[in-house]
Structure 1
Amino acid sequence: MSRNKYHDIDLSTSSFLITGGAGFIGSNLVDYLLHFGAKKVRVLDNLSNGYYHNIEEFMSNPAFEFLEGDIRDYETCVTAVEGMDYVSHQAALGSVPRSIKDPITSNAVNISGYLNVIQAVKENGNVKRFVYAASSSSYGTSPKLPKVEGEEGLPLSPYAITKRVNEFYGDTFSRVYGFHSIGLRYFNVFGPRQSFDNPYAAVIPLFFKASLNNEAPKIFGDGETSRDFTFVENAIQANIKGMLTTDLKSHEVINIACGDRTTLTELWGIIAELTDSDLKPIYQEERPGDVKHSLADITKARNLIGYNPLYTVKQGLKEAASFYINQQTEKP
């Protein structure tokens, strides 16, 4: 994957903490920072939802440090933040179905864990910027398209509640403590290092897995469900620009997406073409908690941090196809 540059300062004097850095988005962010010569990149991850193989290649880099630990432990978060200039909080338990099955654990990780991290960063006092992974699920029952920050509906799942609470805490820390952060509302991020072996894997890796295993993909609903699928490189750009922005006077939440939407049937058609598959999808009942349509207005992100997504869905899927095909080829 080509490596675009999204910063204009020297990173060799700055240290970065990436919570959840062994996960999908986190490990891609680590890759970017090390590629461009960051002074130190520290990962905090308990490997429950991330994978050692995502960060194994970084272990020999003297600028990289892996701290195995859990964000549910406050003292671990305090230790992780020490000496850091910037913090990107990616650690979370994703998946709407998982949160419906086990809301207790999702709450503990996504709310209590988040609170531990933001409190540790605030108390540290030396971190220049804190950004965190928010979610498009916060829009919930709002039927309006495109989705605009400040026009949310009611949450449709325990997962959505946890991510919305993160935003409430971010806003409260801004107003009460003068600690300003940025929530990045991801819209269905996909790309290299996203696992399809996880029991709660997202739709794109599952579609690739089905195609490469010559198995018909499953589509929940009539196939007209649509998403603003966002290639991971766009999310990396948002994290870098978000962390390095200097003009922030309050807590902000911004949509991170492409501003375009693709139905699940269209999505399968693109992936089938990329992988030379003639399989037809199997349509099943819609899942509880799923939003029917999702499309982002990215005007605020453009204006606040200069976000400009460089990858369309088709370009991102082409990159993802190469990753999954190579991964399949390398299996013993």
Structure 2
Amino acid sequence: MTAQLKKLEGKQVLVTGGAGFIGSNLCETLLGYNIKVVCLDNFATGKRENVAPFLKNSNFKLIEGDIRRLEDCHTACHGVDFILHQAALGSVPRSIKDPITTNAVNVSGFLNMLVAARDAGVKRFVYAASSSTYGDHEALPKVEDTIGNPLSPYAITKYVNELYADIFKKTYNLDTIGLRYFNVFGKRQDPSGAYAAVIPKFVQQFIRHESPVINGDGSYSRDFTYIDNVIQINMNALTTNNVNALNTVYNVACGERTTLIELATMLKTYLAQFDDAINHIEIKHTENRIGDIPHSLASIDKAKTLLNYNPKYNVSAGLKEAVQWYWENLK
């Protein structure tokens, strides 16, 4: 990755949502290669401790602002060459409970960022799209050019992002790349709160000797994707010279399917290496959640071909890394 990121020396990259789980990992990677980073975050879901180690770095600039305010977006985009847009309100259940706020952040905020990027002459706008866009389309694996009907307000907002990105290329010649994330996990992913992702939530419960609760019988499956794979494709998207790779969307995944019961069992096994009592914790079940799709599996052929994406971590290897980090940071 060193050689490709040499292209960004002297450039300035804006990471929106840079205090969040994925955003802070992206900031850390860029700073590690001596690249100037601007972080825009309103700390609604991002955490100050995620960016605290960067504050003394002269290449790092933190702007506390909200993408729902166009003036904040303009301020953040000033002098910026590239954007990694990660700011969003995630979670299907959250969007079902509060569709208005989800839409305000994910659609109006996204449009504000596109306008600010256009006005600032930004060279490339790489944004976090979502596997939720596939909706009720049942075929597996998921291929980028075939989607179904959305199953949640969140899914609608992420699809609208793709439509806006396409229009901004056609109308204003702003180059974009959308990355449809599939169930990303790894260090700094928040295990707390009502809308915590399943992996950190289960890890925290096991560490506390609590029983994790699976929605449904555990047969639902996901293409869980370790954070380092996500970092890799974001860096590839920033630096690619392949014009055919621009202005489209890509699946970001491992290309393998893991059921929820398999996931919980793996986490239990890996954590029990630190604490044998975890071996004896029961895994419980409850009803399926509204808006959840039964199965998700990505084709990553397009990303491999056009963006040289080569995920280094499969699910098992990624979980071992994540469990090690959580064990050291959650106890």
Corresponding residue number in structure 1 for 2:12: 15
What is the Cα deviation at residue 270 of structure 1? 0.6
Distance in 2 of aligned mates of 1:227 and 1:5: 31
**Structure 1 residue 247: Cα displacement:** 2.6
Alignment of 1:1-332 (within 5 A): 5=2, 7-38=4-35, 40-125=36-121, 127-248=122-243, 251-276=247-272, 277-278=278-279, 279-329=281-331
Contact 1:230 1:257 in 2 (8 A): yes
TM-score normalized by the length of structure 2: 0.96
State the 4+ residue runs in structure 1 displaced beyond 3 angstroms: none
Residue range with higher mean Cα deviation, 245-254 or 235-244: 245-254
Instruction: Determine the C-alpha separation between the residues in 2 that align with 1:23 and 1:8.
Output: 22
SS at the partner of 1:108?
Answer: helix
Q: Is the 8 Å Cα contact of residues 180 and 248 (structure 1) preserved in structure 2?
A: no
Q: CA deviation at 1:177?
A: 2.1
- Equivalent residue letter for 1:292: P
Superposed displacement of residue 5, structure 1: 4.6
Identity, in percent, stands at: 52
1:102/1:6 CA distance change after superposition, 3 Å: farther
Residues 5 and 239, structure 2, Cα contact 8 Å, conserved in 1? no
Tell me how far 1:243 sits from its aligned partner.
1.1
RMSD across aligned C-alpha pairs, in angstroms? 1.2
| 2:275 matched residue in structure 1 | none
C-alpha separation in 2, matches of 1:143 and 1:11? 40
Does the CA-based 8 Å contact 2:130-2:181 persist in structure 1? yes
Whole-angstrom CA distance in 1 between matches of 2:65 and 2:5: 32
Deviation per CA, 1:94-131: give whole Å up to 9, x if none. 00000000000000000000000011111211x22110
Displacement after TM superposition at 1:267 (Å): 0.3
**In 1, Cα distance between the equivalents of 2:62 and 2:214?**
38
Unaligned runs of 5+ in 2: 273-277
Distance 2:312 2:236 in 1: 14
Check whether the contact 2:125–2:174 (CA below 8 A) recurs between aligned residues. Answer: no
- Alpha-carbon distance between aligned partners in 1 of 2:166 and 2:8, rounded to the nearest angstrom: 28
C-alpha spacing 1:12/1:169, structure 2 compared with 1 (3 Å): same
Deviation at 1:305, TM superposition (A): 1.1
State the one-letter code of the partner of 2:315: V
Distance in structure 1 (CA, Å) of the matches to 2:73 and 2:109: 9
Contact 1:218–1:284 under 8 Å retained in 2? yes
Amino acid in structure 1 at the alignment position of 2:301: T
**What is the CA-CA distance between 1:174 and the residue it aligns to?**
1.7
